Chains A and B, each alone.
Chain A
Amino acid sequence: MAQTPTSTLAEEQPGLRVQGPPAELEREPLVNNNRSIGWISDRIASVIEGPLPGWWKICFAISVTFMTVCFGMILYLMSTGVGIWGNQHPVMWGWAIINFVWWIGIGHAGTLISAILFLLRQRWRTSINRAAEAMTIFAVMCAGIFPLIHIGRIWFGWWLFPIPNSQSIWPQFRSPLMWDVFAVSTYFTVSVLFWYMGLIPDLAVMRDRAKTKIRKFGYGLFSLGWTGSNRHWSNYEKAYLILAGLSTPLVLSVHSIVSLDFSVSQLPGWHTTIFPPYFVAGAVYSGFGMVLTLLVPLRRLLKLEDIITVRHVELMCKVTLATGSIVGYAYAMEFFIAWYSGNPYEKFLFFQNRAADPFIIAPLMHIKPAPYWWGFWTMVICNVVVPQFFWFKRIRTSMFIVFFLSILVNIGMWFERFVIVVTSLQREFLPANWSYYSPTWADILQYLGTFGLFFTFFLLFLRYIPLIAIAEVKGVTPQADPHHPLGGAKPGGKH
């Protein structure tokens, strides 16, 4: 199949010039420049079939280096113990839990795009769902590392699962940490199932285009003998709908359960009923930040601007704006409740231990500044102020600014978890126990290492698996609609 990246539908099928619907009823096409169906598979497959780009090699080398650091730090932790981290009384949950919640949250955008936007019939999701789901899977892998290594004796990690053992002990299910084990492992498994099912028709596309023996075998094996039969599509679409329907309550439950790890305990700043919805909104917000960080450069580097259009980026910015505003509202509500409840511990935590900056609030209240005021204000600026820029179309359509702001979103959400975990713990009820928490070099390298793991997998995904759902994108073009003139319909919508 010749690669004709410039061909459009009109050139390929010159006879096909039927009157379309009236302009005011015509939807804006999701694939720009009136590309033909064949062009879509040629373009997306060329990412895999074309020469290996230089930037890919450089990024891959850097990522593998960091991945090695990740595994090296795990080995160091296993051989030495969790004492290499900055965790100590009273902050027993340090960067490990912060990074866990952060990575899990990032994953949520992938499922939101693949499941919730599917149920809401947002057809633009087809251009970005595959890459976002891959991001979910790799982010959950990075997240899963942290609680696993935080248990210290990693070789006993299987005690978390209800597996019969020689001591005849079972895990006890009244703890939200146990719920978390089930939520996160289910989330990972279902994300992989959903992702793989979406991949089956696209792996068949790659199989049918394959020139080399290895590719024919590999794509042939994993496409499971998919032929594109309509009797198969019928079952496939139903299964896809069901998986979307199951993933929607799943994704809402996962971060809710993660938030229960905090809110079931009785610490000021943690023990609140707003946590589950607030965590889910924050997760989707940070996840969309990461999707933008990944896809805004990729659409340019891989020349996919016709498929991941400016409109797609704009819509993602709007979701970021909406969820960021919910997060901002939740912050405001936490402060309001801390004040309105009259609980002195809550008030102390929010006003004196989080918000009191050394320049305005602390001098006004005649108190000492909060130890982590800089973390709190980084969080507020990145999560409350930054998304408000997305009200402006000029900003949403400027790829450079969107990319820059999306990084700030990621930073802001990391600081949110930092503020929640550290400030609630480091000044507890007894002032004699107060201390200042700081991470060690091992904390920092472990965190940076997981980026290596994430990007190594993501780069391999880009190169070997179609990063856009080919069959789904074809399905949302006007020429795929049998009742549209471009789909071959005769005047009057008759086929």
Chain B
Amino acid sequence: MTSLTGPGRAASADPVGTPARRGPLGALRALWRGRANRPTGLLLVSALVTVVLLLPLVFLLIEARGAGVGRVASLIDRPLTGQLLWNTVRLTVVVTALCAVIGTGAAWLVERTDLPGRRIWAVLLVVPLAIPDFVISFGWASLSTDVSGFRGAVLVMTLSVYPLVYLPVAASLRNADPALEEVAMNLGQGRFQVFWRVTLRQARVAVLGGCLLVALGLLAEYGAFEILGYQTFTTEIFTEFSVSFNIPTASALSLVLIALGLLVLAGEAAVRGRSRGSRVDRGAQRGTGRHRLGGWTLPALLALALLAALALGVPVGSAVYWWADGTQHPFTGDSLLDATWHTALYSGSAALLATAMALPVGVLAVRHDGRMRRLLERGAYLVLAMPGLVIALSLTYFSETYADGIWYQTAPMLVVTYAIMFFPLALVGVRASVAQAPPGLEEVAHSLGLGRPAVLWRVTRPLVAPGLAAAFCLVFLSAVTELTATLILVPTGVQTLATQFWNYQQNLAYGQAAPFALLMIAITAVPSYVLGRFFDRLPGRAAGQ
């Protein structure tokens, strides 16, 4: 490691414009080391974080090795696996394609046309993201038994996750250089050709990034499919683990699921290639010209209204309906309060931990370059391919095997699992925040006579704080609505909002489940909107991938 952080990395750096190798953490480190020329400490801490992130994967592999390749192969090589593979893959492909079309189309309508009420649409179209998938699923399935199986899963999942494509594409279209479209029109291209050959090209990375998140989310989803009675790898693994206690089978299937996730990651990287939109930045950006919809205004409005009604109106309406219906039953105010407290406790701790873990990696990613850095970043990236269920299983297996099960179903284990699961989200926030505090500002502060502690307090802290808060919120909100890993790891006798909802829902006690669903929506929807605004205001590049 020393050789990588030594002369090798320094030689590859640009000798003239090299920024000082100092970050918020680096500066802290420099306090006791006296100088901060090489980010050795930062690299060490980041390496440690990456190791923790990859622990679940390592445990799984160790377990598979222990069981023997032949046994694992025999567990996988069953007709059931083929059925699961078919179910998982066709759903992933169809929903991802639908989301790409709907998300991109909606983003184009809102950002690039003269559609009336664009600001309201921008909010309404994003809010479904804040509603847990299993609540949307519950909303639909509790209204009609027809919503089930493959078709039901396609409908519900598309409505739940299309904002994952909408959001990045909208941001990308908003920041896109309007000059490119003008040049294309100037070269005699029609409106459709301009959209296809220029606008979409510019938004391509964003569309792909959104599709990646959609596909990975589908691989990891449990609750929604369980409600709809649609069998995928994740539901099967869950059943094997928690109903049959068949850990070897669950682990073997987990390996296949991770392989699928890695395949998705690799596929996205391959399609995206090295193409990045570049723009010669000179001065302020001109406002983007908007296309006139003309006679298409009404159909476009109707389409968006339909989308919002299906994705937002049905689940919320359904929950409210069941809540009103359920008031005949005794209301469980105490359990609601208790579940809220535990949800906040676990999610808050996980958000703190994930943000703290993301800090060194983020500082390294934004401020330094080098082989080690890229290696660490890629390691952290692999976490995306690991569903929460698999992380929970793997950590459970580890505690059972090596620690006599003392950590199983304890708060720390749940918090660590959340932190690993949502680390990529925290990293997005941290990267954005570190980019807000370029090293040049710290240098200027030093030259004005401030020592390191004063610089940290008067410059770095105020600049970085909003982004770190955003990272915290991203993880917090995701943890609040997490169901799968929570069901496995939640301490015995404790309920969170998600698990309590799930228990009532499983017992068909819709009236009692509804308040929990509504509370989760209330907790997540408003902060999500605020968060969305925060990331919108950042310059395009700062927000990272």
Chains A and B form a bound pair = no
- Interface residues of chain B, those whose CB is within 8 Å of chain A, are none
